Amino acid sequence: MKQLILKGIFLLVGLILMEGLVACQSAGNASSAVQTYLDARLQSDVNRMINLSCPEWEAQARIEASTFKAMKARIEGLSCEENGAAGSYTLVACQGKIVTTYQGETREWNLSEHQFKLILDDGEWRMCGYE
């Protein structure tokens, strides 16, 4: 009887741990969400940017989607990592730059000038602005 109870406890603990792992995997991480958002921005993919945004950021995502539309844009040296919190937001700091070319003129946008604010919403990281 004692062994049966112990097996039941181990089974229950195992199920709880597996449920936690599944939740973590579905949420991904905030850093990769920023990279996905930036990729959508370079492609001027407004629908994808909105899907990656929290409701308060959707209007700004529409504006940002158009900023590089007429330019050749690429990212160089991108790396992002979680860098603390601000209220309910997770902050993500990135290194690297966006390089744009328009009518022969090249411009660089340093990604380390601000941090990205994200929130975990229904198991998905959402872009909510800059810090």
The Cα-based distances of 25 to 18, 19, 56, 62 in angstroms read 11, 10, 25, 28
Predicted local confidence at residue 7, as pLDDT: 42
Torsion (CA) 120, 27, 96, 44 in degrees, nearest 10: -80
Question: For 51-87, how does the pLDDT look when each residue is reduced to its tens digit (9 = 90+)?
Answer: 999 999 999 999 999 998 889 999 999 999 999 999 9
Could you tell me the domains of the chain? 29-130 (3.10.450.100)
- Convert the pLDDT of each residue in 13-32 to its tens digit: 333 333 333 333 335 899 99
pLDDT at 99: 96
